[in-house]
Structure 1
Amino acid sequence: MEWQLVIDCREPSRLVAFWAQALRYRPQPAPDGHPTWREWYLAHGVPAEELGEGDCADRLEDPTGAGPRLWFQPVPEVKSLKNRLHIDLKVGGGRGVPLAERRERVDAEVDRLVPLGAAVLGAMDDPENGHYAVQLTDPEGNEFCVV
C-alpha cells in the first residue's frame, strides 16, 4: 500500500516551497506525458478556473523514496483550529543523545526554518523528563514540532 499526507491549504506553491526545504524533499514531477501538473489536471477535466495561475506544482516527494509523498490540496477556507495531526522533524537524535546536545540540534534546525517562513510558538523544555522540543507553524499556520 502507498500513502501520502494531504495538507489543506490556501496557497499550495507557498507551502511546497517551504516544506521542500524543511523536509529536504523535492517537487514531485508531473506524470509521464504531461509537462506540468497544470497540464495533467486539465487533461483530467479539472476546470482551468479552479487551478489559478502557475504550473500547479502542489506535491512533494522524498528524493530517497523512503518518506511519504505530500499533497498540498487547495481549499477555500483559511485554517481556523489547532491541527489534529502534525509533523515532527526529528533532528535531536533521541534520548540516547545528551539533552544539551539535542537542545543544540533542535535550536539549530529552528534557526534554519524561521528564515524560510516558520514562526516559533514556543519551546517544550522539560529537563526532568529529558525532553526538549520547539513548536512552530508553517507559512499558513499549520503546527509542527522540531524534536
Structure 2
Amino acid sequence: MEMTLQLVIDCADPRRLVDFWTEALGYVPEPPPGGHSTWREYWSDMGVPAEELPEGAGDAPESIVDPAGRGPRVWFQRVPEPKTVKNRVHLDLKVGGGRGVPLAVRTERVTATVERLTGAGATVLRIMDEPEMEYYAVVLQDPEGNEFCVV
C-alpha cells in the first residue's frame, strides 16, 4: 500500500495562509480537480450537501502543492478556535545549505529568506545566533501565529 503525506494547518483564514505559504515554500495553490472552477463546485459534484460546507469554504484554494511534486500537500483547515499555545510541531525551512557551508554564507542565506518572509507577513520571534556552535537560525511566526524556523 502506498502512503502519501499531507500536512494540515488549522487556521482562521485559509486564503491568507495560502498566500503566505506559497511564498515561503515556493508552492502553488492547488487547483480543483477535473476542470472544476472551484473546490466548492467539485465537492458539490461529489455529493457534499452545500449546507455541510462552511460559508466560503472551497471558493478559493485552501491547499498548496509542490509544483515539482516532491513535497507534501499542505491543507489549511479552517477551525473556529484561535491559536492559543505554542505549536507542538513546526516546519524548518532549510535554506542555509547545511554544516558544509561556511557559517557566514548560511547566515546570509537565512537573513535574506527572513527578510523576504517578513515582507510577506511573518514576524520574527527570536534569532538563534551561536557562532561558537557554528549555528544560526531564526524563529518566526506566520500571519496567524504558527511558529516555524529558517535555518
TM-score normalised over the length of structure 2: 0.91
Letter paired with 2:104? A
Q: Which residue of 2 aligns with 1:13?
A: 15
Task: State the identity %.
Answer: 60
Pick aligned residue for 1:128 from 128, 132, 137: 132
Q: Which residue of 2 aligns with 1:140?
A: 144
Bigger shift: 71-80 or 44-53?
A: 44-53
Superposed CA RMSD: 1.5
SS in 1 for 2:33: coil
Pick aligned residue for 1:32 from 26, 31, 34: 34
Distance 1:77 1:140, change over 3 A: same
> How far apart are 1:50 and its partner, in Å?
0.8
Q: Which residue of 1 aligns with 2:4?
A: 2
Number of residues of Structure 1 aligned to a counterpart in Structure 2: 147
In the TM superposition, what whole-angstrom CA distance separates every residue of 1:101-142 from its partner, at most 9, and x where no partner exists? Answer: 100100000011111000000101111111110000000000
SS in 2 for 1:50: coil
Is the Cα contact below 8 Å between 2:6 and 2:72 reproduced in 1? yes
Structure 1 unaligned regions, length at least 5: none
SS in 2 for 1:35: coil
> How far apart are 1:92 and its partner, in Å?
0.3
Letter paired with 2:38? T
Distance 1:46 1:81, change over 3 A: farther
Pick aligned residue for 2:81 from 52, 71, 77: 77
TM-score normalised over the length of structure 1: 0.94
